[in-house]
């Protein structure tokens, strides 16, 4: 496994060596990675990438893990052919790079993927899971698409805005205590707003001592102290899907 450690919090973790169990397909105007479960359940999960793109082995590993638990999983290229962020990139240019990849402007891609899952995969119940950039995207679709059964937003940046609480579907939020990208004050504000306004089921979990990326970008063997938290977060993710999708 190659270590890509970098001072920027978005790049804490490792790129794992993993080939994947699925296959790449074309879904209208976008490419996607699809993995089928051992048996058809009529359930599917859209897995949304982080800044390192839809081909990151870590994300495909997570998609295959979810598929192994009974879901057709699909990892679409939500950057639509644009280059993902590279670990060796100049972080001073990152804000400009990010402006061209808005996690809240993905409706055209979501619509295409939903159509594919329903027509080609015969999915009747659909959920969404996203990491980092994808966590923001999941938060967006949970507020816009009633047809999703549930979502899991994993360290998706939460900003102070008026609509963060208007969820239409049960949503699990997973955060890390030592996340320099997402201060605990933002998590606290989200908690307050959801408690006051949200009308659907939700849960917010903050994992002690963990950093941004811990669920999918830390090697499971990286440290005996981290492994229980990684395992618990992944278990919680699956439990949420099993409960609501």
Residues annotated as catalytic are: 132, 179, 212
Residue among 152, 149, 110 nearest 129 (CA): 152
The span from the CA of 45 to the CA of 159, in Å, is 25
The span from the CA of 210 to the CA of 189, in Å, is 20
Q: Which two tokens stand for residue 161?
A: 């805005």
Residue 26 phi/psi, 5-degree rounding, is -105, 125
Q: Which two tokens stand for residue 209?
A: 């001592």
What residues contact residue 18 under an 8 Å CB cut-off, 6+ apart?
Answer: 57, 58, 60, 61
Residue among 52, 199, 51, 48 nearest 126 (CA): 48
| 195 three-class SS | helix
DSSP state of 126: E
Q: Which two tokens stand for residue 15?
A: 């790129």
Q: Which two tokens stand for residue 65?
A: 């893990």
In order of 130, 208, 228, the CA distances from 49 in angstroms are 6, 24, 24
The span from the CA of 41 to the CA of 167, in Å, is 26
């Amino acid at each position: 496994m190659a270590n890509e450690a970098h001072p920027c919090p978005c790049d804490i973790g490792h790129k794992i060596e993993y080939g994947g169990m699925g296959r790449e397909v074309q879904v209208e105007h976008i490419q996607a990675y699809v993995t089928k479960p051992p048996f058809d359940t009529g359930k599917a999960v859209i897995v949304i990438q982080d800044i390192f793109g839809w081909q990151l082995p870590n994300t495909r590993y997570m998609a295959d893990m979810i598929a192994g638990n009974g879901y057709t999983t699909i990892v679409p290229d939500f950057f639509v052919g644009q280059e993902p962020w590279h670990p060796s990139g100049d972080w001073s240019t990152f804000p400009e790079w990010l402006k061209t990849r808005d996690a809240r402007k993905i409706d055209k891609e979501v619509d295409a993927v939903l159509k594919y899952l329903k027509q080609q995969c015969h999915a009747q119940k659909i959920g969404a899971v996203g990491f980092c950039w994808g966590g923001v995207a999941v938060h967006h679709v949970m507020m816009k698409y009633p047809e999703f059964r549930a979502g899991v937003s994993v360290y998706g940046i939460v900003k102070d805005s008026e609509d963060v609480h208007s969820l239409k579907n049960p949503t699990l939020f997973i955060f890390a205590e030592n996340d320099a990208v997402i201060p605990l004050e933002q998590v606290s504000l989200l908690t307050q707003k959801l408690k006051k306004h949200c009308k659907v089921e939700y849960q917010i979990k903050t994992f002690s001592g963990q950093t941004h990326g811990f669920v999918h970008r830390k090697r499971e063997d990286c440290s005996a102290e981290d492994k229980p938290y990684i395992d618990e977060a992944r278990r919680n993710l699956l439990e949420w899907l099993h409960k609501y999708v």
